[in-house]
Structures are given as C-alpha cells and as structure tokens.
A and B are shown apart, each in its own frame.
Chain A
Amino acid sequence: MSLLEFEDVHQSYGDEEVLRGISFGMDRSDVEVVIGPSGSGKSTMLRCVNRLTDIDSGTIYLDGEPVTTPETDVNDLRRRVGMVFQDFNLFAHRTALGNVTLGLREVLDYSKEEARAEATSQLERVGLADQADSYPAELSGGQKQRVGIARALAMDPELMLFDEPTSALDPELIGEVLRVMRDLAEEGMTMLCVTHEMGFARSAASTISFLDEGRVVERGPPEQLFEAPEHERTGEFLERLTSLHGGQQG
C-alpha cells in the first residue's frame, strides 16, 4: 500500500486551476522528486498534502487513510508530515534549539528536559549541535535550512515535504543541505521533494515527476527521465536544469 497517494486532485485559486487532476502514489522510503517550471503548481501540490491549502476535489491518502476530508484532524496530520520551506521560516525569536523544542513541547507535550534532549539530538543529526544557542539571524542560510529540517524531523514525521529547500541558498551552501537530505533518504525517510538540484535527483530519487501547468506530464525513475524521456518538453526542461543546477552532488 502506498504511504502517500494522490487521486485526481484538483485545486484552483479563483478562476485559475493550479492542479488539474494529479494522481500518483509513493511507497514508504520512496524519494519522489518533483520538477517543473515556475508556477506549474509544485508548491501548491505540497501544501495540499498537509492541508496548508485545501483541495477542490479528489482525495489524498496518507498511509491508506483519506486526509482531505472535513473530519481529518489537521494538526495531527501536520504533526505526521514534516515540511521544509524555501525561505526557511525559522521562528525568528527562538534559538536553533528553541525552534526544535517548540513543537516537542507544545504539540507532543514533552517535558522541558525531554524536549531539550530530543532537540539536541535532532540538531546533532543535521550537524548543528554547536549552534544550538544561536538565533536564526546569526546563522548562515545553509545552517538555517538544516535547523528547519531538524525542526520538522523532531516531530517524528512519516513523510517529509521539501519545497525547493536550496533555491534561496548561495551556491556554496547548497551542498550541506543536500547532504542532510541524502542521509535522510538513506535512513529510509519517505520524501516528497520539489527541487531542481539535478545531481541530487539523479542519485537520490526513486522517481521523478515532471509537473507542467498543473499536470504530471511525465513520471518515472531518474534513468528513464534523464536518458529517454517520453515527452519532448521533459527532455528540454531537464536539459536546461542540468546545465543550470547539475553540479551539486551533496
């Protein structure tokens, strides 16, 4: 059974239909990379999974249960689905450690000591134990994003959503974030990643989806999309991306 399943998902903003019937499934421990031009609906697709955006029709299933029904406990859903943002969105008033402890304390009801211990080990996991007491403004972009990942991981999610996690970073900081993502993938985390880092996609993805104008135009294992794309659009887009973002292997 799929861990995450989209079934004919449609979503519009006003008159503009942004998702036009998305259907696909991912198994546990899959790494799905989503690529596509700006405005094609990639972010919207991710936001539908944890209900930051509500869909118009269709169904999304997490671990076999529909999560797009009115009865769904969205706070619990969001606890189970971690999200990493393009512009980090670290809590600006809390230290790196404080960013990670907030959910532990307020959502999972950890005690202060438990939360601190758990948060410290999550920061260690992303290589930032030494920055625990730094505020977001005192961290580099790459460090911020790793704290963002630790914050999401602390909730012990079943699925992680990444929305262009490296596209706001200086080129020399991209590698440290991709490395963390690659480690996560190797540990068996199920990941739905919007990213244009082709090195990462090629080596870490189990499947790549090419999204265009709200539709999955083509989907398949990396070798297939890179070597023998079925659609001309896919080939062109990948070629362009590879020349732009091919370098980082993480």
Chain B
Amino acid sequence: MSAEAAEEPGEAVTTRGTIGVELGRRPLFYAVLAPFWAWLLVRWAYDWVVEPGTNVTAREPFFPTEPFVAAGETLRGVAAGAPAPVGGVLDWLAGGFDFVAFGLEALPQLAAGAWVTVVLTVVSILAGLVLAVPLSVARVYGTRAVRYPALAVTELVRGTPLLAQLFVLYFGLGLTKYVREVPGVGVGVLPDTAVVVGLIGFTVNSAAYQSEYIRSALLSVESGQLTAGRAIGLSKVAAIRHVVLPQGLRFAIPGWSNELIYLIKYSSLASFITVRELFFRAEAIGNETYLFVEVYSVAALFYLALVVSASAFMSYVESRVAIPGLGTTGR
C-alpha cells in the first residue's frame, strides 16, 4: 500500500486483505497450493476415520501407481533397443516415472507425518505466543524482580540447542513418566506422550524466540502512546494491554512469520524423540526402501508447501489486521 493510499480515508477498507484479493494477486501460486491442500485435507480425513489422533495410520494411496510403473518399464524396454544418447535420455525419463510411482506410494505416510508436523507447529506457536506476551511485557515494562527472571529464561532457552532441550525433556528429565500419567494423553484424538513432550519443548523454545520479537516490537511503539494512555487514567497494565500491545503485536507480525517458518522446519527434530512426524516417516520409508534421496525429496516438497502456505497465510493476516499509518502499511 502506498503512502498516498493511507492518506485517503475510506481506502482503509479496500486495502484490508481478503482471500479474494490474495487469490487475484498470485493466481499461479494458489493454483499449485490449492490442490495440494485439497488432497492433504481429504487424506487426513480419510486416514482419521480409522484412527483419529496424532498417531495416524496411513491407508492405501488415492492415486494408482501401476500406470507409472508400467510406463517406466515400457520406456526402459524401448531404451534398451535405442542408440546410446537416445537410450540414455529414455532411461532417465523412465527413472522419472519410477520416482513418481514411488512418491505416490509414499504420500499417505508422509501426509500422516505432515499432520503431526502441523499439529506441533500450530499448537506450539500459539501456546508459545501466550507465554511470550507476558515474558516480553515483563522484559520491557517489568520491575527488576520480573525483568531478570524473564531475561534469564529467554537467554537460557535461546542460548542452548533445541535438540538438546528436547533430549533433556524426553530422556534427561524423563518427562514421559509424568506425561503418561496425565489423564487423556494419547486417548482418542489427543496426542500421545512423545508428541506432548515435543509440544512442551517447542512451546517453551518458541516462547523464548517470540518474546524477543515481541520485545523489540514493543520498544518500537512510541513512548507517547503509553503516556497518553496513562494520562486518561488507565492503569499501567490496562494501558499496556489496550494501547501498547495492539500496536506492538502488529509490529511483531513479520518476526512472528519467521518464527512460524522456523518452527515448521525445526519440528523435524521431534523425530529424535520418536515423534512420528513428517521427517520421521520419511526416514522410516528410507530405511525400508533405501531410496533416501527420493523420499527426502518428496518430504522436502511437503516442507516447502507448508512453509509457503504459512508465509502466504501470515501475509494475509498482516494485511487483515493492518491499520492505516501503523507499521508496515504506512510510515
């Protein structure tokens, strides 16, 4: 949105993002993503019917692999009889068909893993946000007594490797023992023990990073805003809540998008504590078929689709909550 547009009253409404505007802006992009999500959602629903929860058992593929296998074999047959350069190309093409057939076979497993990846990411970023807001407010506006503990937690979490944190939670503290005792864990649609430990780890980790993003966003809210809030008689807490946070959280959205994207990818570390997410399932298929390059390539496409979707979603959110003159839309 241009600076001039922000000056026009009434413009505010039209510049608010709508799905329609987004679609119109990047049609090709959505032409690729839409079928992916349509398939993925149907896939999840289909597998869930048998066994709801995070430990989804993948059922048979939707798309038949035989035509691709057959095409590959036929091509290879032709290639054998063809002169060297042509044969090479045909062989290579046949490999492509094999890859597609293999990919189609692997899709249900990977979709089941992607479900866990999405659950880990979405729950952790939201729960992390809930923790990050008070952490960052404590850092910026707190008295010493809350500022330093908040700083200590943030630095401890950001200063140590995520994988180490997961190991400490899972093996070191043996969190599984306690989590297993919690009623509801692993029952029905609720995530099982390892997933819960993963959620705890990612939530805490993400809270620390998000609190840093939010902290610097809060610092970029003009100090006069808080003063003006106090001057009409709002308590400090009320002024922070109603004046500073609504602005600061908007400034934090770009950082927040970053965090979401990191989290999608870092959630693969949960495979080390036996969470059967996307990377875990890809590795399992690799171990079974020895087609590591192939299966990791397909998994990478999954991650790419998730990341691209997340960033599109976040720019939609950003335009949706945009206010003329505030943050990225004006100034």
Chain A: residues with CB nearer than 8 A to chain B? 50, 52, 75-76, 78-79, 82-83, 85, 87, 89-93, 102-103, 106-107, 131, 133-138, 151-152, 155
B8 cross-chain contacts in A, Cβ below 8 A:
138
**A75→B231 contact, CB < 8 A:** no
Q: Hey, what's the 0/1 contact readout for B94-112 against A, CB within 8 Å counting as 1?
A: 0000000000000000000
Query: Is B186 positioned at the interface, with any CB of A under 8 Å from its CB?
Result: no
Judging by beta carbons under 8 Å apart, are A93 and B323 in contact?
Answer: yes
The closest CB in chain A to the CB of B231 belongs to A83
For residue B9, which residues in chain A have a CB less than 8 angstroms away from its CB? 131, 133-134, 138
Name the residue on A nearest B228 (C-beta): A89
With a cutoff of 8 Å between Cβ atoms, the chain B residues found around residue A135 in the complex are: 12, 323-326
Tell me the B residues contacting A by CB distance below 8 Å. Answer: 6-9, 12, 222, 224-225, 227-235, 238, 242-243, 246-247, 250, 323-326, 330
Bound-complex Cα distance A78 to B238 (A): 14
- Contacts A85-B224, A135-B12 given: A93-B231 contact, CB under 8 Å? no
Do residues A52 and B234 form an inter-chain contact, with CB atoms below 8 A? no
Using A92-B247, A137-B324 as known contacts, list a sample of 13 further A-B pairs with CB atoms less than 8 Å apart, ordered by residue number in A. Answer: A52-B231, A75-B233, A75-B235, A89-B222, A90-B228, A91-B229, A92-B323, A93-B326, A102-B232, A107-B233, A133-B9, A137-B325, A137-B326
List 22 contacting pairs A-B, 8 Å CB cutoff, sorted by A. A75-B233, A75-B234, A78-B231, A79-B232, A89-B222, A89-B225, A89-B228, A90-B228, A91-B225, A92-B222, A92-B326, A93-B243, A102-B234, A102-B242, A103-B232, A137-B330, A138-B6, A138-B8, A138-B9, A138-B12, A138-B325, A155-B233
Instruction: Report the separation of the CA atoms of residues A90 and B325 in the bound assembly, to the nearest whole angstrom.
Output: 12
Q: Name the A residues within 8 Å of B250 (CB-CB).
A: 93
Identify which of B222, B230, B243, B324 contacts A52 (C-beta below 8 A): B230
- Bound complex: CA of A152 vs CA of B222, how far in Å? 19
- A93 and B323 CA atoms in complex are apart in Å by 6
Complexed CA–CA distance, A93 and B8 (Å): 16
9 smallest beta-carbon distances between A and B, as pairs: A137-B325, A79-B233, A89-B228, A103-B232, A89-B224, A107-B233, A78-B233, A83-B231, A135-B324
Known A52-B231, A93-B246, A107-B234; judge A87-B325 contact (CB<8 A): no
CA A83 to CA B231, docked complex, whole Å: 7
Residue of B nearest to A92 (CB): B326
Give Cα distance in the complex from A50 to B235, angstroms.
Answer: 13
A218 vs B191: C-alpha distance when bound (angstroms): 76
Contacts of A83 in B (CB 8 A): 231
Q: Per a CB cutoff under 8 Å, which of A78, A131, A137 touches B232?
A: A78
> Nearest Cβ in chain A — how far from B24, in angstroms?
25
User: How distant is the Cα of A92 from the Cα of B251 in the complex, in angstroms?
Assistant: 12
Find out whether the CB atom of A155 lies under 8 angstroms from the CB atom of B224.
no
Give every chain B residue within 8 A of A89 (Cβ-Cβ). Answer: 222, 224-225, 227-228
Contacts of B326 in A (CB 8 A): 92-93, 135, 137
Q: Is the Cβ of B232 less than 8 Å from the Cβ of A107?
A: yes
Find out whether the CB atom of B247 lies under 8 angstroms from the CB atom of A93. Answer: yes
- Are A92 and B225 in touch, CB under 8 angstroms? yes
Q: Which residues of B contact A106 (CB under 8 A)?
A: 234, 238, 242
Report the minimal beta-carbon distance from A74 to chain B, rounded to whole angstroms. 8
By a CB distance below 8 angstroms, the chain B residues around A92 are 222, 225, 247, 323, 325-326
Give the chain A neighbours of B233 by CB distance below 8 A.
75-76, 78-79, 103, 107, 155
* Cβ contact within 8 Å between A91 and B234: no
Q: Which residue on B lies nearest to A99, using beta carbons?
A: B228
- What is the chain B residue whose CB lies nearest that of A87? B224
Inter-chain contacts of A107 with B (CB < 8 A): 232-234, 238
Report B-chain residues with C-beta under 8 Å of the C-beta of A75: 233-235
Q: Which residues of B contact A133 (CB under 8 A)?
A: 9
B243 / chain A contacts, CB cutoff of 8 Å: 91, 93, 102
